[in-house]
Amino acid sequence: MFEQTSTYNASGAVLLSPAERNKVLRNTYWLLALSMLPTVLGAWVGVATGITQALNGILGFVVFIAGAFGFIYAIEKNKNSSAGVPILLAFTFFMGLMLSRLIAMVLGFSNGAELVMTAFGGTAGVFFVMASLASVIKRDLSGMGKWLFIGAIVLMVGSLINVFVGSSAGMMAISMLAIVIFSAYMLYDLKQIMDGGETNYISATLALYLDIVNVFQSLLALLGIFGGEKE
């Protein structure tokens, strides 16, 4: 029996064998599932203690951006070391804390728990659809990356502007656009893993985790705006 090995394309980039690609995908799914535990814990701590309630407006935006980009830098720097997974899990706890303010607000509605579960189910549904599409689409989707990145930058700028404006209509538009962009990002990131374009499962998990969190947050915000019932 001959062992499957990686080959290289004309530009020198690594092309993983099917077995290696499956291993990256499998490890990514396991780590992604594990990352949900610190996220739930962080959200619970945030809701139970109210520690993030003061983080509104520009202060909340600055804390989130500084913390998120700091963690992302540390994860990418340590993705090939034993420190990569613990840093990623610490990041997911931080993200749970950051989500807790929105979750607490939605839970303030009489049907809040139902809305949270609906957002969770909707996000799981989006992930299932994108994973299914990624497994059957044969076309190379790597060209989507630059357009999705531009969309994400536009979205971040729009979110910053809306922090000062405080428009409900702006919040709805941003949330709907975020669902579209990060659902597409989910498809793109999954296809990259399946095609061997992403060879590190920690980086792959980070990308998919960010997609999932953004879709969940945006769905929850929309459900809170349209479906929240006051006591």
Q: What is the pLDDT of residues 65-104, one digit of tens each?
A: 899 999 999 999 999 999 999 999 999 999 999 999 999 9
User: What's the whole-number mean pLDDT along residues 44-55?
Assistant: 85
What are all long-range contacts of 58-61, with beta carbons under 8 Å and residues at least 24 apart?
Answer: 58/163, 58/164, 60/101, 61/159, 61/160, 61/163
Structure confidence at residue 2 as a pLDDT band (50, 70, 90): very low
Question: For the segment 162-182, what is each residue's pLDDT rounded down to a tens digit?
Answer: 777 777 788 889 999 999 999
Structure confidence at residue 21 as a pLDDT band (50, 70, 90): confident
57 pLDDT more than 70: no
Q: What is the pTM of this model?
A: 0.88
| The pLDDT of residue 225 | 84
Residue 11 lies inside a defined structural domain of this protein: no
User: What's the whole-number mean pLDDT along residues 205-225?
Assistant: 94
| The pLDDT of residue 130 | 95
Question: For residues 49-83, b (16+ Cβ closer than 10 Å) or e, as one string?
Answer: eeebeebeeeebbebbeeebeebeebbeebbeeee
Q: Domain span at residue 30? A: 16-227
| The pLDDT of residue 5 | 37
| The pLDDT of residue 4 | 32
- Please name the residue ranges forming H helices in the chain: 18-49, 57-77, 84-107, 112-136, 144-165, 168-194, 201-227
Total domains in the fold of the chain: 1
| The pLDDT of residue 231 | 61
1 pLDDT more than 50: no
Structure tokens at 150: 């531009």
| The pLDDT of residue 100 | 93
Spatial distance between the Cα atoms of 186 and 228, rounded to a whole number of angstroms: 28
Of 4 and 8, the one with more pLDDT: 8
Cβ-contact 104, 50 below 8 angstroms: yes
| The pLDDT of residue 75 | 96
